[in-house]
Amino acid sequence: MVKKKIILTGGAGFIGSCFLWKLNREGIYDIIVVDDLGSDAKWVNLRGKRFMDYVHKNDLPGLLESGKLDGIGTIVHLGACSSTILTDAAYYLKNNYEYSRRLAEWAFAHSAKFIYASSAATYGAGESGYGDEEERLPCLKPLNIYGYSKHLFDLWLLRNGCFRKATGFKFFNVFGPNEYHKAEMMSLVCRNFKEAAAGRPIRLFKSHNPAYQDGGQKRDFVYVKDAVEVMYYFFRERRKSGIFNLGTGAARSWNELARAVFAAAGQAAKIEYIDMPENIRPGYQYFTQADISKLRNAGCDHEFASLEESVKDYASYLGKEEYL
């Protein structure tokens, strides 16, 4: 049992609220949720969950640095701007790099465990592969400013020898309950389940890369229930640190994902292909697949559900818009 308080940033967001659910299931409630609810519907993700306090994200660094929050044993930093289509570089760097560095510096100075979210977007087009060894980080070339802002923080930790004190996760394509508020960043499953259940087609991007057929672009899709199990393993194993890929290790195509949605909805597959918007073509990843050998070597032997099993389970929530 973790006896000290936990700060959970992004605690009302998608992965954050699911990790809060996991902590509660393990009997852990001494949690300070940090987020910016604003007018966002993600507040619903907090219903039915137990935590000791809520703090606005803008107030957290000052509260920590002034000593007004005590007894903090762990910071789980999942809060970030996760959109891959915004173009305000300064906003990304302020929220995803500077804010993260500030929290990490406090955690290291106060011997608190620091767990944070990186991203598979840091791998760019995958020219350097998808291995998560720390020495490979300087070789990576993200394709968009979101990926770069995450990469910049990874590099800061590397330069300062901090991976012995921090645990980072390069999340691949996570989907599952509690993502209903994410608008254009919702998964294909969330956006299209009701359409598929009504027998209407799912539209996928055409390929603008001759190596891939339309809808044949591949991603490492990982169910959020699996993601939080891996996170909890490292939360519990406090001496294990470093940066780790968090994916299944098995890339699947968008066509396969769409067919799994139709199967879960009890309908025959109907897929149409549309042109990819020109503004996202330069930063589009045609293939991602986590190398999870480092994860396994760290002793995490969690068995990931198959894509079809995951979509079927998610469908039981989507039909009623239920939450974890």
% of the chain with per-residue pLDDT over 70: 98
Of the chain, the percentage scoring pLDDT greater than 90 comes to 89
Q: With 60 as the cut, is the pLDDT of residue 105 above it?
A: yes
State the chain's mean pLDDT as an integer: 95
pLDDT in tens, 10-61: 999 999 999 999 999 999 999 999 999 987 789 999 999 999 999 999 999 9
pLDDT at 1: 40
What's the mean pLDDT in 291-318? Answer: 98
CA distance 170 to 101: 17
Taking the domains of the chain in order of start, what are their residue ranges? Answer: 5-175+221-250+289-305
| pTM score of the predicted model | 0.95
Q: Answer whether residue 133 shows pLDDT above 90.
A: yes
Model pLDDT, residue 185: 87
pLDDT bin (cut points 50, 70, 90) of residue 2 is very low
- What are the CB-based long-range contacts (under 8 Å, 24+) for 82-90? 82/13, 82/146, 82/182, 82/185, 83/146, 83/184, 83/185, 84/121, 84/144, 84/146, 84/147, 84/185, 84/280, 84/283, 85/184, 85/279, 85/280, 86/145, 86/146, 87/145, 89/145
Q: Give the pLDDT confidence of 238-285 residue by residue, as tens digits.
A: 999 999 999 999 999 999 999 999 999 999 999 999 999 998 888 788
Query: Letter for the amino acid at 299?
Result: G
Alpha-carbon distance of 202 to 205, in angstroms, equals 10
Give catalytic residues, as residue numbers. Answer: 146, 182
User: Cα 14 to the chain's mean position, in Å?
Assistant: 8
CATH ID of 5-175+221-250+289-305, from 3.30.360.10, 3.40.50.720, 3.40.800.20, 3.40.190.10? 3.40.50.720
